[in-house]
Chain A
Amino acid sequence: MDWTLNLLLLTLLLATAIAVIRIRDLLAAAIVFSAYSLVMAILWTQLRAPDLALTEAAVGAGVTTVLFIITIYRTVRKED
């Protein structure tokens, strides 16, 4: 049971990680990165590390996304 879920999560993790690098629109990249953090948080709980999952969900998916969006808002949105 764990096996299929983990495979799905790892595939999703790889897909989002590659997408973050490939996407030119930085705002979209920030959002995808937050999705990456969320998948990673679920994976941490799968690896029985709930402490890390809590941190990843709060910092990775929450705080850093907001900080990225503030930074993008005050600089430029498109990567050249």
Chain B
Amino acid sequence: MRKAIMLLALAGIGVMLIYAVGEMPPMGDSGNPDKTHVAPRYLEHGEEEAGASNVVTAVRLNYRGYDTMGEVAVIFCALCAVVAVLGREKTGLSRTHMDVSRVKASVVVRTTVRFLVPVIIFFAIYIILHGEETPGGGFQGGAIIGASIILFTLAFGLPESTRKIPLKSRVPLESFAVIAFLAAGFTGILFGANFLTYIMPGLSEHAAETIRQVMMMVIEIGIGFAGGIIFTSIMFAMIREDKYELQPDSS
């Protein structure tokens, strides 16, 4: 009986959903509202209003700046939750099962990783800094940085990684994305414009342009490096194992 009611309800919702999809404008049709109002506006005025020649970046940082700020806050909250539950690793003292086992990553893996990681980080920095003109930007580059550090940790173990990127240097970076975004937002208010406005009123064109460039760069770099470091910290917190922890030297 219960099952029958459940099935009936599910079927009803399914029919309604399919009916609603049928009512939607066809995908990619040039007569859709987003093609007649939103897209032309972004394409025609994006560069002067938002100041980025890549329209996606213009939308991401300017038209929907709040959205991006929320996203950055979300990954920061994810890190806070993981650290609150699992705790932090201790630099050079935290180990994993991988580090104590006698089976190490093979020479081939270690050598490949040693050559690949710098190239991957270089590529990530290119994506972060070039986000204004080409696809990509802070978040994408940050994810790639995080992935490269995770790759390094898998090949060389947690002690080596935490020695290279100690907790001390990560903590201030983790919150940098949110702080950079808020700072850029409040700069707009300081100049008498709205929150998250990049083009300041009452300045010469040249000065406004310079300020806008600097602000977008700071936000992109902030999201990029903080994002990468946040992924790294989450991974470090998850992979460390208390039972293999070394005791600090008491001498």
Contact = CB atoms under 8 A, between A and B. Distances in A.
Nearest to A62: B147
B5 to A, nearest CB: 24
Contacts of B137: 51
Contact of A54 (B60, B140, B235, B241): B140
Contacts of A55: 139-140, 143
A70 interface: yes
A55 B238 CA distance: 22
Contacts of B234: 67
Contacts, number: 45
A50 B136 contact: yes
A75 B90 CA distance: 22
B135 interface: yes
A68 B140 CA distance: 20
A66 interface: yes
B120 to A, nearest CB: 10
Range class of the A interface residue count: 10 to 19
A59 B239 CA distance: 17
B93 to A, nearest CB: 19
Contact of A71 (B136, B139, B146, B238): B238
A51 B56 CA distance: 8
Contacts of A59: 143
A63 B228 CA distance: 10
B140 A51 contact: yes
Nearest to B231: A63
A70 B136 contact: no
Size category, B interface: 20 to 34
Contact of B235 (A51, A58, A66, A73): A66
Interface in B117-149: 127, 135-137, 139-140, 143-144, 146-147
A49 to B, nearest CB: 8
B139 A67 contact: no
Given A54-B127, A71-B238, A63 B150 contact: yes
Contacts of B241: 74
Given A51-B56, A51-B135, A51-B136, A58 B239 contact: no
A63 B135 CA distance: 20
B83 interface: no
Contact of A58 (B56, B60, B135, B147): B147
B3 to A, nearest CB: 20
Contacts of B140: 51, 54-55, 58
B136 A66 contact: no
Nearest to B144: A58
Contacts of B218: none
A67 B239 CA distance: 9
Interface in A46-80: 50-51, 54-55, 58-59, 62-63, 66-67, 70-71, 73-74
Interface of B: 56, 60, 97, 127, 135-137, 139-140, 143-144, 146-147, 150, 154, 231, 234-235, 238-239, 241
16 contacts: A50-B136, A51-B140, A54-B127, A54-B135, A54-B140, A54-B144, A55-B140, A55-B143, A58-B140, A58-B143, A58-B147, A59-B143, A66-B150, A67-B234, A70-B235, A70-B239
